[in-house]
Amino acid sequence: MGSQDEGGVIRTVGILGAGKFGLALARLALAASYRVLVAGSGDPEGIASRVDALAHGAEPIAAVEVIRADVVILALPFGTHGSLPVAGLRDKLVVDAMNRGWDADGTDRELTCHRSSSEMVQAQLSGARLVKALNHVGYHELEDDALPVGARGRKGMAMAGDNPRDLDTVGAMITALGFDPVVVGPLKDGARFEPGTEAFGARASAEELRALLDRPGRGRVVPRAGRTDGAPDAV
């Protein structure tokens, strides 16, 4: 498969993160006929056998090479976002699937003052076209719940971003992966499906997910330890 064309079609998916979540994403993307590149935190030879065993067909690469993909999915622990290859991701379509864990990452003032984690990532990745998505389900549910278009029981997947065209592009990928995309709003509204919200961890249809997101207090994020396994557990 080639590069992204002028119509915003994704052909190659790059995944930064070779943990359980990243490789579950890789398997879904391979099943949807995408070319898949997977990068860990070090030499690609260090993850080659793991990638071959758990996502056969995906290509292990160095993190700096992930810019060859049409879209880059951040499947890393949130605390590592400060070490991302910033220059290489400028102008790149990037999906933030990371979750900030209150227990692991503390109660940063920026978030307790209602700044979403994706706004923090966007500030780090100046120039990247960021979409928040794929973060509110765990890696087991990600594969268990993926279903063909129109299948009974198909689940919704929340998305937030500032560029409508990029939301359309990522939405098409999410559709191919087995979920119905639900556009929540601009990037700051990613806070509405972060850990501590009612939508986080909900295995719901698109209609049910919209109803959860539309309830009063939907944007409230409560600092607490708890399940954040929509994010990966290893790089």
Q: Provide the residue-wise pLDDT of the chain in tens; the chain has 235 residues.
A: 334 444 589 999 999 999 999 999 999 999 999 999 999 988 999 999 999 999 999 999 999 999 999 999 999 999 887 788 888 899 999 999 999 874 444 444 444 445 789 999 999 998 999 999 999 999 999 999 999 999 999 999 999 999 999 999 999 999 999 999 999 999 999 999 999 899 999 999 999 999 999 887 544 433 333 334 444 344 4
Residue 122 inside a domain? The answer is: yes
Q: Does any domain span residue 181?
A: yes
List residues bridging with 131 in a β-sheet: 95, 161
Total residue count of the chain as it appears in this document: 235
DSSP string, 44-84: THHHHHHHHHHSBTBEEE-GGGGGGSSEEEE-S-GGGGGGS
Q: Is residue 82 part of a domain?
A: yes
CA distance 78 to 59: 24
* DSSP-derived secondary structure for 74-111: E-S-GGGGGGS-TGGGTT-EEEE-----HHHH---HHH
Cβ–Cβ under 8 Å, residues 229 and 78:
no
How confident is the model at residue 217, as a pLDDT?
A: 59
Asked if residue 40 lies in contact with residue 46, where contact means CB atoms within 8 angstroms, the answer is: yes
What pLDDT sits at residue 12?
98
Range of the domain at 100: 12-213
Could you give the number of structural domains in the chain? 1
Position 185 in a domain? yes
123 part of a folded domain: yes
Structure confidence at residue 76 (pLDDT): 93
Supply the CATH number for residue 33's domain.
3.40.50.720
Q: What is the pLDDT of residue 114?
A: 55
| pLDDT in the model for residue 105 | 40
Among 32, 33, 1, 29, which residue's Cα sits nearest to residue 14?
A: 29
**What are the CA-CA distances from residue 227 to residues 68, 86, 201, 235 (Å)?**
33, 29, 8, 18
Please report, in angstroms and rounded to a whole number, the separation of the first and last CA atoms in the chain.
26
- Other CB atoms within 10 Å distance of the CB of residue 79: 13
> Is residue 106 assigned to a domain?
yes
Residue 120 covered by a domain:
yes
pLDDT at 37: 98
